[in-house]
Amino acid sequence: MSNMIEIKNLTKQYKELKAIDGLSLEVKKGEILGLLGPNGSGKSTTINCILSLLNFSEGEIKIFGKEMKPDAYDIKAKIGVVFQDVAVFEELTVQENIDYFCGLYIKDKAKRKQYIDEAIDLVGLEEFRKFYPKQLSGGLLRRLNIACGIAHKPELIFLDEPTVAVDPQSRNNILDGIKKLRDKGATIVYTTHYMEEVEIICDRIIILDKGKVLATGTADELKELAKIEEKVTVEVNDLATKHIESIQKMETVDEVTYHGNVLLVTYKQGKNNLVDLMDYLKKEEIKYNKIYSERPTLNDVFLELTGKELRD
C-alpha cells in the first residue's frame, strides 16, 4: 500500500515551546487513520502544517509523493477538509452551500450537479435541500459541513471531530458516511476524543503527545500495550473501607476505585481474577447486584500513555 502522506522529522517551534518535536509518520492510501491525543498534544498544529496553513521550523512533508507547499494548488485541489467549527453560509440553502464549495474545484456544471447530488445522498440531506442553515438541527448542520468539504470527491480528507455534540442517530449517519468514503477510495485522517468511534471506523491509530508519536497500530495492537490485563466492575452498596483495602492487597491487583456504589478493580495479570474476587465477596458476605469482567479498552491505553491529569 502506497503512502498518501509522508512526514519526516517535522518540528514546529513557538519561541521556547516545541509544538511538534521531530515528528515522523505516514498515512497509507485507502485507510482511515485515527489521529489521537489530549488537548495540546500537537494534532491541530500537525494538520495545519500538512495543509501548509502553518510554516514549520524543520522537516519534510509530502502528499501524493510531492512536496507540500503553500502554492501547491494541484495537491490542494485533491484534499477535502472538514474542521470542527461549522463553516457554511447562512444566506445560502443546503444545496447552494454545497454547490458553492464544490464549485471552487469543479467548473463543469453537469459534473458538479452529479457530485452535489451524490454528496447530499451520502450525508442524508435529500429532504433538506432547500433549507437554510438556521433551520437545521446541530446534527444536520454537521452533515452539511461534511458535504461541503467532500463534494468535489477529494482523494485525501481531513475530518476534525465531525461528531461533536450530535445525537446518536446523526453520529451513526456520519460514521456510516465516512466508511462509505473510504470504501469508494478516499484516504481519511480522523481526529476525535470519542474512543468508541475510533474502534468502529479507524483502520490504524496514531497517538500523539507533546508533538511526538507515542504509539501506532490497530486498536487491538494498541490494547496489547496496556499494563493492565483485566478490569472487573461490581455494583455493590456500602462497601466498607477495610474491604477496599483488602482487595487492593490481593497479589495481582493494580488499582481499586469505589465511586457511586461501583467498585472497579484493575489487574496486572492473572487468569482467575473474577473468581477470586467473587470468592472474597462471598466469604465476607458482601452482596452485590452485578459483576462483570472486560479487557482493557482503547480509552485505558490512551490514559496510560498520555496520563490522567487534566489538560487545558
Specify if 147 maps to a domain.
yes
* CA distance linking residue 178 with residue 118, whole number of Å: 14
Q: What CATH number does the domain containing 143 carry?
A: 3.40.50.300
**156 lies in the same domain as 69:** yes
- pTM: predicted TM-score of the whole model, two decimal places: 0.88
Domain boundary among 170, 200, 223: 223
List, as one string, the DSSP characters of 212-236: EEEEEE-HHHHHTT-S--EEEEEE-
Sign of CA dihedral 90, 93, 98, 104: negative
Provide the number of structural domains found in the chain: 2
* CA distance linking residue 157 with residue 173, whole number of Å: 17
Specify if 252 maps to a domain.
yes
* CA distance linking residue 187 with residue 190, whole number of Å: 10
Segment 280-308 shows an average pLDDT of 91
**136 lies in the same domain as 72:** yes
Pairing mode, if any, of strands 156-160 and 187-191? parallel
Q: Is the predicted pLDDT of residue 160 greater than 90, yes or no? A: yes
CB 54 within 8 A of CB 11: no
**173 lies in the same domain as 151:** yes
pLDDT tens column, 80-100: 999 989 999 999 999 999 999
Specify if 77 maps to a domain.
yes
**28 lies in the same domain as 106:** yes
Query: What's the domain range around 240?
Result: 230-295
**96 lies in the same domain as 156:** yes
Spell out where 83-186 has E strands: 156-160
Specify if 305 maps to a domain.
no
Residue with cell 509530502: 62
Q: What CATH number does the domain containing 259 carry?
A: 3.30.70.100
Cell numbers for 293: 469482567
**118 lies in the same domain as 248:** no
pLDDT tens column, 206-243: 999 999 999 999 999 998 888 888 999 999 998 999 99
* CA distance linking residue 77 with residue 106, whole number of Å: 10
Q: Identify residue 38 by its one-letter amino acid code.
A: P
* CA distance linking residue 40 with residue 59, whole number of Å: 20
Q: What percentage of residues in the chain have a pLDDT greater than 90?
A: 85
**52 lies in the same domain as 156:** yes
* CA distance linking residue 108 with residue 224, whole number of Å: 50
**154 lies in the same domain as 132:** yes
Strand order in the sheet with 66-67: 17-28, 3-14, 58-63, 66-67
**216 lies in the same domain as 265:** no
Q: What is the 3-state secondary structure (H, E, C) of 255-294?
A: EEEEECCEEEEEECCCCCHHHHHHHHHHHCCCCCCEEEEE
pLDDT tens column, 173-203: 999 999 999 999 999 999 999 999 999 999 9
pLDDT tens column, 20-45: 999 999 999 999 999 999 998 999 99
Measured between alpha carbons, how far apart are the two ends of the chain, in Å?
38
The continuous run of DSSP H or E covering 167 comes out as none
CB 81 within 8 A of CB 48: no
Specify if 79 maps to a domain.
yes
- Residue 20 has a pLDDT of 95
The rounded mean pLDDT for the chain is: 94
Specify if 56 maps to a domain.
yes
Domain boundary among 171, 191, 223: 223
Specify if 130 maps to a domain.
yes
- Residue 1 has a pLDDT of 53
Residue with cell 474545484: 105
Domain boundary among 178, 208, 223: 223
**121 lies in the same domain as 260:** no
Residues in the chain: 312
Least Cα distance to 50 among 102, 2, 17, 4 occurs for 4
**130 lies in the same domain as 279:** no
**181 lies in the same domain as 210:** yes
| pLDDT band (50, 70, 90) for residue 312 | low
Specify if 111 maps to a domain.
yes
- Residue 99 has a pLDDT of 98
